[in-house]
Structure 1
């Protein structure tokens, strides 16, 4: 099963849920499955302030705007080092 890099088309998009990670790597069967896994894991807009978000309190993050995400096949990520 291939790996996919998921990132916002606009790096400054406030809907991106991972402030410290500009790209999320997901293992999926195809691009559509990678998008579905991302939307399941991060279903809503950030709401409130970055220091105090309220989960599941806004509209669907990228679900209504599929062109806002770039999803490309990528290499398997390396294991994290400590």
Structure 2
């Protein structure tokens, strides 16, 4: 299983255990269960909601080719 598939399984489990899909609850769960900072958790929630998987999978592929594992923002 590749890393993306593994993350999908982990995040799906986290969302299923949140009482709602409220962004505040999800951010808290990402901080607690996945060791994200509060800012990082809110950033990935915003990215997912604002850009969606089509745009982000292309950004993932491009970032890999460019060698940008952590990016310029340092998350």
Do they fold alike, i.e. is TM over 0.5?
A: no
* TM-score, normalising length: structure 1: 0.27
Which structure has more relative contact order (CA 8 Å, sep 6+)? It is 1
Q: Choose between structure 1 and 2: higher strand proportion.
A: 1
